[in-house]
Amino acid sequence: MINKQILTQFGKRVRQEREKKGYSQERLGELAKVHRTYIGMIERAEKNITLTNMEKIARALGKKVNDLVDF
């Protein structure tokens, strides 16, 4: 399982980038091809995210995974 600190950091940065772009959770979900409720769970660090989904979300935000989390 990914460390809770990494999940929290990733979720916080996803929210920051999403809000910078003016995206709703629903819009980001559409762009990343994941459900809107999943975006909310990620932002609140409630869900253990896979690297595949980390990449989908990062790309939808125009970022790389390492821009959103420090491993």
Task: Kindly report the three-state secondary structure assignment for every residue of the chain.
Answer: CCCHHHHHHHHHHHHHHHHHHCCCHHHHHHHHCCCHHHHHHHHCCCCCCCHHHHHHHHHHCCCCHHHHCCC
pLDDT reported for residue 37: 97
Cα angle value 37/38/44 (rounded, 5°): 95
For residue 69, is it within any domain? no
For residue 67, is it within any domain? no
Q: How many domains does the chain have?
A: 1
50: containing domain: 4-62
pLDDT reported for residue 2: 54
pLDDT reported for residue 4: 87
pLDDT reported for residue 70: 81
| Mean pLDDT split into 10-residue runs, the chain, 71 residues | 83 97 98 97 94 97 93 66
For residue 70, is it within any domain? no
**Is residue 31 within 8 Å of 23, Cβ to Cβ?**
yes
For residue 9, is it within any domain? yes
For residue 11, is it within any domain? yes
Q: Which CATH number fits the domain that encloses residue 54? A: 1.10.260.40
For residue 71, is it within any domain? no
